[in-house]
Amino acid sequence: MSQPTSFDFIIAGGGSAGCVLANRLSASGKWQVCLIEAGPADRNPFIHMPAGLIPVVRSKVLNWRFWTEAEPNCGNRPMFWPRGRTLGGSSSINAMCYIRGHAWDYDHWASLGNEGWAYRDVLPYFRRMENFEAIDKVDDGRSFHGVDGPLNVAEPRHVNPLMHAFLAAGQQAGHPLTDDFNGAQQEGVGLYHTMQKSGQRCSNARAYLTAAKGRDNLTIITDAHAARVLFDGKRAVGLRYVKDGRIHDLKARSEVILSAGALGSPQLLLLSGIGPKTELARHAIAQVHELPGVGENLQDHLDIHITMREKTRHSISLRPLGVLKAAVNLVRYLLFRRGELTSNFAQAGGFIKSDAAQAIPDLQWHLVPFVYAHHGQKLAPLFKHYAYTLMTCFLRPESRGRIRLRDADPKSPPLIEANYLATERDMDALVKGFRKAREVLNMPAMAKHAVDELEPGRAVQSDEQIRAYIRAKSETVYHPVGTCKMGRDAAAVVDSRLRVHGVERLRVVDASVMPTLIGGNTNAPTTMIAERAADLILQDAALERSVPNYRPVMAPAEAFAGK
């Protein structure tokens, strides 16, 4: 039977957001939905085994393996940016820490003019999406969490003793203990809840596509690279994609939705003729609509780490004892879904303030029980050391980067200018964070595990030395957002219903629409965005069906002209 070529909704990108939309838009059976994903189906067993995240991040098939341009404030280093390239997108390769961000972040979005995105508006969506296993074990769990949603959120099945030592050390350093970073009290040190079920990764593909896959009205096309949106004037009418070297055009009766992530969605808009005039002209792309903000406003969390050599040998290494432990853990995982291979490694962390003047935490910690070496790309240090690494990032950076086109070929990687550390404030906050991290690592509960500081080493003490170390060694913690930002100002790309300004029947739904980076990891916020977007899309579609001459309202010109 030949595949249909006309759908009500076409979603480009089967990642964290795309999987949510595919499920919710097809749930009623009324709408024909098509999901286009550039990568393969998520069959690789390493995706599902939590500790498989290291081979998965090393993969050339499941990871786009992007690189930024040379970063001017980070020693002119191009920096490695992993992004998921399979069903589930980055939720199939991420570290599974379940964090929503601070209530302030969403109230801030609303204060920028984004109606419907205040914390009180988004909390019901956070609750709708989750099945929070620990609901009765955390303070006031029922006010903050849900138990009926598809995304399973679990307590860690395996906690390395170093994590407990870290929680004790954090308290010795004066940080409170919190049992739920997503509940009443974000501030403090604690264990991360994880997006896992029964010891396996619960990616958004597992959570949202498993139940939806068999629906007659949902078509999922993998290994299909979206090339551009097709327009009739300023109205999106379809999507072009490339599969097996052949071009295919699909018709959209209702809407095209871009969910290709913070790098893919602006790239697709630009390839489709929507973006800054100069950028379109530079690549001889016919302009459909000028939108100066496409690809701008890129924000990311930048991490700096401290690694301690360990004497108690709880950490993960590839030294003989470590390999023996790994073998035992493999058996435990295969037979019982227990042990270290159920671990996302970053089992403990914290949200802390860089100084007492901060109203809410502005730094985040992730502790991992091994030597941190370039996103798991370099394994050699694991053969040498037992060690643990504490990573610190500043949560609300002022620096803004951008995404541009390298050329007009849809298969070329986007040009990424992260522009980290462009302001003094961003650097100062990381220096303070570095000092706080060193303080906690030297508290008695943690110090008893340490031989010495492996990186950067005790010689690095002055602010200037710490700054130089940050410039030389900081790395992404994988949270790029903001490149199709929601808003009403001249740089906004979508309105608060996530419709692209100035054109019809086109939305962006993914991490790119965040106007500002939230204080935490970004998968749960992206999932929430897609949950809410599904409601908005279905409301508009229902209205259009019941009112024959109804057209989705174009965002008013004055809104994006900043008047």
Q: Residue 440, interface with ligand FAD (CB under 6 A)?
A: no
Number of residues that bind ligand FAD (CB under 6 A): 42
Decide if residue 93 touches ligand FAD (CB under 6 A). yes
Minimum CB distance to ligand FAD smaller for 20 or for 387: 20
In DSSP notation, 435-470 reads HHHHHHHTSHHHHTTEEEEEES-TT--SHHHHHHHH
Q: Considering only 10-18, 44-52, 139-147, 495-503, which stretch makes contact with ligand FAD by CB under 6 A?
A: 10-18
Among 76-84, 135-143, 394-402, 544-552, the segment contacting ligand FAD (CB under 6 A): 76-84
252 vs 511 by CB, closer to ligand FAD: 511
Note whether 200 and 409 are within 8 A (CB).
no
Choose the binding region for ligand FAD from 308-316, 436-444, 516-524, 548-556 (rule: CB under 6 A).
Answer: 516-524
Instruction: Tell me how far apart the alpha carbons of residues 361 and 104 are, in angstroms, rounded to a whole number.
Output: 10
Residue 82 and residue 478: Cα distance in Å, rounded?
7
Q: Would you tell me the crossing angle of helices 523-546 and 16-26 to the nearest 10 degrees?
A: 30
Least distance between ligand FAD and beta carbon 388 (Å): 18
Residue choice 23, 73, 91, 196 for contact with ligand FAD (CB under 6 A): 91
- Please tell me whether residue 196 binds ligand FAD under the rule CB under 6 A: no
Which DSSP helix (H) or strand (E) runs through 529?
A: helix 523-546
Give the angle 315-319-321 at the CA atoms, nearest 5°: 75
Binder to ligand FAD among 10, 21, 25, 36 (CB under 6 A)? Answer: 36
Q: Please, are residues 59 and 53 in contact by the beta-carbon 8 Å criterion?
A: no
Residue with Cβ nearer ligand FAD (54 or 445): 54
* Cis ω for the linkage preceding 456 (within 30 of 0): yes
Catalytic option among 158, 301, 449, 479: 479
Handedness of CA 31, 35, 41, 42 (dihedral sign): negative
Structure tokens at 453: 């500081």
The answer to whether residue 99 forms part of the interface with ligand FAD (CB under 6 A) is: yes
Among 145, 240, 479, 532, interactor with ligand FAD by CB under 6 A: 479
- Is 479 in the active site? yes
d(CA 117, CA 106): 6
Q: What is the DSSP string of 410-436?
A: TTSPPEEE--TT-SHHHHHHHHHHHHH
Where does 247-393 have alpha helices with state H? Answer: 261-271, 277-282, 320-336, 380-384
Q: In terms of CB distance, is 16 or 432 closer to ligand FAD?
A: 16
Burial of 546 (0-12, 13-18, 19+ CB in 10 A): exposed
Q: Pattern of binders to ligand FAD over 491-510, x per CB under 6 A?
A: -------------------x
Binding residue (CB under 6 A) for ligand FAD from 387, 511, 514, 537: 511
Cβ 346 to ligand FAD shortest distance, Å:
7
Q: Which bin fits 308, alpha (ψ -120 to 50), beta or left (φ > 0)?
A: beta
Work out which of 57, 373, 387, 395 binds ligand FAD, going by CB under 6 A. 57
Query: Is 37 among the residues that bind ligand FAD (CB under 6 A)?
Result: yes
184-198: b or e for each residue (b if 16 or more CB lie within 10 Å)?
Answer: ebbbbbbbbbbbbbe
**Number of helical (H) and strand (E) elements in the chain, helices listed first:** 18, 24
Closer of 371 and 511 to ligand FAD (Cβ) = 511
Of 190 and 456, nearer to ligand FAD (C-beta) is 190
Give the interface segment with ligand FAD, choosing from 25-33, 34-42, 105-113, 293-301 (CB under 6 A).
34-42
Per CB under 6 A, does 456 bind ligand FAD?
A: no
For strands 235-243 and 246-258, give the pairing: antiparallel
Nearest approach, Cβ of residue 85 and ligand FAD (Å): 4
Q: Give me 338's structure tokens.
A: 């227990």
* Shorter beta-carbon distance to ligand FAD: residue 91 or 186: 91
Distance between CA atoms of residues 178 and 167, nearest Å: 10
* Per CB under 6 A, 17 contacts ligand FAD: yes
- Residue among 251, 210, 234 at smallest CA distance from 10: 251
Which residue has the closest beta carbon to ligand FAD?
15
Q: Which stretch binds ligand FAD (CB under 6 A): 86-94, 139-147, 324-332, 447-455?
A: 86-94
Q: Is 476 in the site for ligand FAD (CB under 6 A)?
A: no
Q: How far is CA 443 from CA 136, 184, 212, 364, 369, in A?
A: 32, 27, 49, 18, 17
Q: How far is the CB of 21 from ligand FAD (least distance, A)?
A: 9
519 near ligand FAD (CB under 6 A): no
Q: Which stretch binds ligand FAD (CB under 6 A): 133-141, 247-255, 518-526, 539-547?
A: 518-526
- The yes or no reply on residue 226 touching ligand FAD (CB under 6 A) is yes
- Binding of ligand FAD at residue 343 (CB under 6 A)? no
For ligand FAD, which is the closer residue by CB, 128 or 435? 128
- Tell me the per-residue interface mask from 245 to 284 with ligand FAD, x by CB under 6 A, - otherwise: --------------xxxx-x---x----------------
Instruction: For residue 426, state whether it binds ligand FAD (rule: CB under 6 A).
Output: no
Whether 353 and 274 have beta carbons less than 8 Å apart is answered as: no
Which one, of 239, 202, 201, lies nearest residue 221 by Cα?
Answer: 239
Look up residue 97 and give its two tokens: 């820490």
Q: Which of 50, 52, 82, 101 binds ligand FAD (CB under 6 A)?
A: 82
What is the binding site for ligand FAD (CB under 6 A)?
12-18, 36-39, 57, 82-85, 89-91, 93-97, 99, 225-226, 259-262, 264, 268, 478-479, 510-511, 521-524, 526
List the catalytic residues: 479
